[in-house]
Amino acid sequence: MLSSHLTLAPCQWFSRLATVLDRRSAPRLALLFLGAVLARGRRTVTTWIRAAKLSGRYQSCYIAVAAAGKRADSVARRLLIEVVRPILAGATRLTLALDDTPTQRYGPHVQGAGIHHNPTPGPAGSPYVYGHVFVVLGLLVTHKAWGTIALPLLARLYIRKKDLPSIDPKHRPEFRTELELAVELLRWAKPWLDLLNLPIWVVADGAYAKKDFLKPAMSLGMTVVSRLRKDAALRTVPGPPTGKRGRPRTYGRDKIDLAKRAGQRRGWSSETLTLYGIASVKKYKAFLATWRPVGGVIRVVLVDEPNGGRAFFCTDTSASVADILGMVADRFSLEITFRDCKEIVGAGQQQVRFLWANVGAFHICLWTFTLTEAWAWGRKDEELVDRSASPWDSPTRRPSHADKRRAWRRTLLGEEIRAVLRPGVTEEEIQAAADRLLNLAA
């Protein structure tokens, strides 16, 4: 077990996560968590402040947001221990997902912002975006009705080397590549996840399939699943030792051309797999190969797709095809989390300039996403969404993150109303509560 104390009630999560800050900032951060959940419209920090009834101390709230950015590792550790751990009951394997995501910003004075590749150009088709790029570590959990959900735990801000001189030397971080930041996140997670005594797997995009990431991840005892480039320099597995003097071969003599293997008609196998929640027949070739970025043998799965063959690999040579392809499909849940964090939670809308305030604001968005999913985890669909007012909607569709967030907001506001409607309440208190609810609703 990660902790000996009882699992905390949802109403205590905010204050418990905030205790890693000093006693001046902790109460403000706890209320800002509440404000981030209750806020509507454009979710800037000022919107959080108004929803949390902290307008009279708004300057201190920005300090609390920056403090959360500086102490993000400690807050994420407490989130894992207090909130996420109960969800992992009965799990046989821990699966981490890694990917980077940009958040669009405006203005030349936003520290750490720069021009980055835009993975989702949209209708405008712009290949670049000005803003921040965060490398995010998420924990993949499977709900019996909702499927796989990625719970973001911690992130690292990637700043291009050419953008570092624009940051004040007092707050300027050292330059680190996205691969180095990803390894740093794995090293943070390793000691806390090890306490669960479960094997740890990591699934990442093909951009992370490089030796600077793969070898450190394997040295931590983690199994890595990712995508292979079509021109990956694979070699065959060396044969048994010949008895000659010298060190045995690590890599085979013959090269493996993935394009040629995909073009061959023989050697294909078929299996019905459930991917993305849908059962489908997949045609594949599975074989062992050696690859220098890993430093040894990997298991390769070459899948026949309508738009061409795609290759994936796993550092565990005994992994099944269903495990490898299932994990590749589950990684897409992290992309869905990124979309929900930006569109529903409002990540990137906070309008702060200071480096650590940007880091703290982004983490508050990630953590409130995880808190919302944890709050809704054990509840029935009927408690989370009422489809009676939407007869055109499918009654079997799983609740979206927006549905869960609205349900939690109603619960939190209901607790405020019940707290006001106590014996001996004054008319002024009722009027203040009514004004607050109207301001949140309108």
* pLDDT value at residue 247: 79
Q: Is there a contact between 173 and 158 (Cβ–Cβ < 8 Å)?
A: no
pTM for this entry: 0.91
Q: Which residue has the higher pLDDT, 419 or 399?
A: 399
* pLDDT value at residue 1: 34
* pLDDT value at residue 441: 63
Taking residues 288-316, report their average pLDDT.
92
The residue extents of the domains of the chain are: 10-205+332-378, 228-320, 382-441
In sign, the C-alpha dihedral spanning 420, 421, 422, 425 is positive
- Nearest partner of 115 among 166, 185, 42, judged by Cα: 166
pLDDT band at residue 436 using 50, 70 and 90 as cut-offs: confident
* pLDDT value at residue 107: 78
List all residues 6 or more positions away from 433 whose beta carbon is below 8 Å from its beta carbon: 416, 417, 420
In the 8-state DSSP scheme, what is residue 110?
S
Residue length of the chain: 442
307 has pLDDT over 50:
yes
pLDDT band at residue 7 using 50, 70 and 90 as cut-offs: very low
pLDDT band at residue 371 using 50, 70 and 90 as cut-offs: very high
Give the chain's mean pLDDT. Answer: 89
pLDDT band at residue 410 using 50, 70 and 90 as cut-offs: confident
3 has pLDDT over 50:
no
List all residues 6 or more positions away from 230 whose beta carbon is below 8 Å from its beta carbon: 258, 259, 309, 311
- The secondary structure of 26-45 as a DSSP string is HHHHHHHHHHHHH--SS--H
Tell me the two tokens of residue 104: 């669009």
Tell me the two tokens of residue 131: 């803003």
- Nearest partner of 138 among 94, 180, 178, judged by Cα: 94
* pLDDT value at residue 221: 95
Q: Which residue has the higher pLDDT, 5 or 348?
A: 348
* pLDDT value at residue 366: 97
Taking residues 159-169, report their average pLDDT.
92
Which of 69-83, 209-223, 322-336, 373-387 shows the lowest per-residue confidence on average (mean pLDDT)? Answer: 373-387
pLDDT in tens, 35-64: 999 988 888 999 999 988 888 888 999 999
* pLDDT value at residue 387: 81
Alpha helices (H) in 304-346, listed in sequence order? 321-330, 332-340
Taking residues 427-441, report their average pLDDT.
72
- Nearest partner of 157 among 214, 206, 78, 101, judged by Cα: 101
188 has pLDDT over 60:
yes
Taking residues 285-302, report their average pLDDT.
95
* pLDDT value at residue 226: 96
